[in-house]
Amino acid sequence: MSRWRIDPPVLALLAAAACTQGCGGSGDRAPTDGGGAEALASSADGAGSGETGDATGGPGSDAGSGGDAGSAVLDASTASRCQITATNATCPSQLTTLGGRPVAYETPLGVAPAGGWPAVVYFQGSLVPGTDAFAATSSAAFDQYDLTRTVAALLDDGYAVIAPDAAGNGSTYWETNIPPYAESWSGCPDDVLMQALLAAIAAGSLGPLDPARLYAMGISSGGFMTSRMAVSYPGQFRALADCSGSYATCSDTCTVPTPLPADHPPTLFLHGGLDAVVPLSAIQPYLDALTTEGHEAQLVSDADAGHQWLPEGPQVIPAWFDSHP
């Protein structure tokens, strides 16, 4: 029996990502350190083996292949932005301050598309600063190593990555499901941060970014914050990836108000079957509400994973965002 449960549409995205990298087609993306298309294909087709493969879906590849996120122009010999080994994952980043918070960010290698790079905003989990997302060891808590591999995959796929800290320089958590802000969000400190962040993106302060092509991902408290993007920032985000979180205002229990926003972005859930902090069952009301109302939503669950960034993330998240340009 597979330790992964990947809904068929997500498997199709993985197959398409593998073909983009190695089937000829429109994009001449260099092979990844983990074997490029072959590794991605074996990860998807061989999920039943319980092996995750070694592909990151990006590190070592050219940023923005034809038809992918940025359609950037790169010399074929250009290396990855990041360095990935069996024990360390490291990406460069720049640091600024927005809304009184540290914010780390980086853009892909190469020349930005005419409209700017699409960008992914990463929301940290509790107590682990967002600015730490750009470097991790394989022994880091909450599988930060695979988070950084996901950052690498996104950068090399043509997405800028932006990682703001929660309050207290990242030593706390997001306010999305904390009273009174859960029900009274406008003007709260995290909303002030988001307004400053969106304004900085539009102004070009974080590099040549496309404010019309924004995505969000997060883990744990940051997973709930990722959902907040659908609730409080309508039309701003193209797609979401919610790891070990659920609906924006949920906490110990989860009651999802209906109807959901009519423009709720397509949402990919990633969740560990052994998660005791936010059990897999906690996302079910959210997933059910989305699908019942006709919104696009998919689930990737890993039966062996706990409350952590899933090792499937570097493959499935870029593929999910690529499918919602």
With cut-offs at 50, 70 and 90, classify the pLDDT of residue 240. Answer: very high
pLDDT at 77: 43
Mean pLDDT calculated for residue range 51-70: 36
Q: Is 74 contained in some domain?
A: no
pLDDT at 216: 98
Q: Is 119 contained in some domain?
A: yes
Q: Is 305 contained in some domain?
A: yes
Lowest mean pLDDT among 40-49, 65-74, 191-200: 40-49
Q: Is 218 contained in some domain?
A: yes
With cut-offs at 50, 70 and 90, classify the pLDDT of residue 3. Answer: very low
Residue, of 126 and 50, whose pLDDT is higher: 126
Which of 18-27, 40-49, 249-258 has the largest mean confidence? Answer: 249-258
With cut-offs at 50, 70 and 90, classify the pLDDT of residue 79. Answer: confident
Helix (H, G, I), strand (E, B) or coil at 122: strand
pLDDT at 95: 98
Lowest mean pLDDT among 48-57, 64-73, 272-281: 48-57
pLDDT at 253: 75
176, burial (CB in 10 Å: exposed 0-12, middle 13-18, buried 19+): buried
Q: How many CB atoms lie within 10 A of CB 203?
A: 10
With cut-offs at 50, 70 and 90, classify the pLDDT of residue 70. Answer: very low
Q: Is 285 contained in some domain?
A: yes
Alpha-carbon distance 93 to 75, whole Å? 22
pLDDT at 9: 52
Q: Is 63 contained in some domain?
A: no
Q: Is 2 contained in some domain?
A: no
pLDDT at 254: 83
Residue, of 201 and 28, whose pLDDT is higher: 201
pLDDT at 8: 47
Q: What is the pLDDT of residues 100-124, one digit of tens each?
A: 999 999 999 999 999 999 999 999 9
Nearest partner of 62 among 111, 14, 15, judged by Cα: 111
Containing structural domain, residue 289:
81-322
Mean model confidence pLDDT for the chain: 82
CATH of the domain at 131: 3.40.50.1820
Mean pLDDT calculated for residue range 60-88: 59
Q: Is 15 contained in some domain?
A: no
Count up the domains in the chain and report the number: 1
Q: What is the pLDDT of residues 196-236, one digit of tens each?
A: 999 999 999 999 999 999 999 999 999 999 999 999 999 99
Alpha-carbon distance 211 to 48, whole Å? 39
Q: What is the pLDDT of residues 81-92, one digit of tens each?
A: 999 999 999 999
Task: Please say whether the beta carbons of 138 and 233 come within 8 A.
Answer: no
pTM listed for this prediction: 0.80
Alpha-carbon distance 251 to 220, whole Å? 11
With cut-offs at 50, 70 and 90, classify the pLDDT of residue 7. Answer: low
Helix (H, G, I), strand (E, B) or coil at 199: helix
Mean pLDDT calculated for residue range 1-29: 42
Q: What is the pLDDT of residues 275-310, one digit of tens each?
A: 999 999 999 999 999 999 999 999 999 999 999 999
Strands (E), the chain: 4-6, 83-84, 88-90, 94-98, 101-106, 117-123, 135-137, 160-164, 209-219, 237-243, 267-272, 297-302
